[in-house]
Amino acid sequence: METLNRDPLIPITQFMNIEECFNLILEQIEEYAIFFLDKEGAIKSWNLGAERIKGYTREEALNQDISMFYTQGDKDGNKSKVILKSAIKNGKYEEESWRVRKDGTKFWAHILITPIYDKSKNHIGFMKITRDLTEKQNAENDLRESMDRVANITKNTHDWEDFAYIASHDLREPLRGFNMYLDILNEELQGIIGYNHQVMFDVLKKLTRRMNNLLESLLTVARSGTSSGSLTNAPLNKVIEDSKRNLLAMIAENKVEIRIPRPLPDVYGDYSQMVSLFQNLIVNAIKYNDKEEKWIEIGFEEVENSSPNPTEQNQGLVFYVKD
């Protein structure tokens, strides 16, 4: 294998001392404002990063007090002096805060100030490093605003679901009562009212059916939105009572008897969804019951699990609604 002959590296310290080399590196860094302060906080060096971030040229910045970068409120509180004292006391000072550019615009900055000592451990000044975090701060603000918007949308969605569920239930019951009495009135007035009044009765019936369909759609939307409700212990006897109460007018109108042969057990689930489930089952049983004497039986049967896995073999319950 051929060996390449390379010229030996020449140490840069042959051309400049360590201090000059270090200052040259610092001056060329653009992502950070890095500069030195004297003991009073006056600026004694300046790099490209400081010029880019703060907007001042080297000539404009040298020998100025660092308070020139502070907001008016921080200036009034003499914050720059407080920070320098804290850096000496604690070995450094670090914070994220607002700073001001030459053009007056503010930027969110990460600041690190470290005291500097000579070989005899005499305090001779400070080194200050500043990084512009405005983009990071803006991104965090945007994220926070997005999360707030999502929270508001979620809250509004829940409010809408609650309204839709309550409104559909509260409106359906008087609508059924209105429809029932409309039928009674129409039956009693048969042969008494004329053709035009009969047409009006038929229109009213169609309008009530349309309103009932709209409310049913509203309730369906509300149920779909609340499908992730909280799971809890749901006593089925109370679930059936609430379902019957919601369907009171329909049950009375159709002269249906609800039979429960024995007390129902408690189940673990979403209570409102259980009410909706049995309410739908009762409604369907009423709609498709053509017997002269209408009754609906709600109960349960115990069944044996036939799983081949011994650990899964246990007793279960099967619920039914029949007429």
Note the pLDDT of residue 13.
47
The rounded distance, in Å, linking the Cα atoms of 99 and 81 is 15
User: What residue ranges define each of the domains in the chain, with the CATH number in brackets?
Assistant: 12-132 (3.30.450.20), 229-323 (3.30.565.10)
How many other C-beta atoms are found inside a 10 Å radius of the C-beta of residue 230? 9
Q: With pLDDT > 70 as the criterion, what percentage of the chain qualifies?
A: 69
The pair of structure tokens assigned to 78 is 């003499």
pTM of the predicted protein model: 0.42
Note the pLDDT of residue 164.
65
Higher pLDDT, 319 or 36: 36
Q: With pLDDT > 90 as the criterion, what percentage of the chain qualifies?
A: 24
Backbone angles phi, psi at 235, to 5 degrees: -70, 115
Tell whether the model's pLDDT for residue 273 goes beyond 70.
yes
Note the pLDDT of residue 213.
67
Whether the Cβ atoms of residue 203 and residue 280 lie closer than 8 Å to each other: no
If pLDDT is split at 50, 70 and 90, which confidence band does 10 have? Answer: very low
Tell whether the model's pLDDT for residue 41 goes beyond 60.
yes
Note the pLDDT of residue 189.
79
Closest CA to 45 of 116, 132, 127, 130: 127
Average pLDDT, the chain: 77
Higher pLDDT, 92 or 176: 92
Chain centroid to CA 89: 43
Residues 166-193, mean pLDDT to the nearest whole number: 74
Tell whether the model's pLDDT for residue 100 goes beyond 70.
yes
Tell whether the model's pLDDT for residue 196 goes beyond 60.
yes
Residues 109-161: tens digit of each pLDDT: 999 999 999 888 899 999 999 988 887 777 677 667 766 665 665 566 666 66
Note the pLDDT of residue 277.
82
Whether the Cβ atoms of residue 260 and residue 295 lie closer than 8 Å to each other: no
Closest CA to 133 of 55, 66, 53: 53
Tell whether the model's pLDDT for residue 40 goes beyond 90.
yes
How many other C-beta atoms are found inside a 10 Å radius of the C-beta of residue 142? 10
DSSP state of 4: P
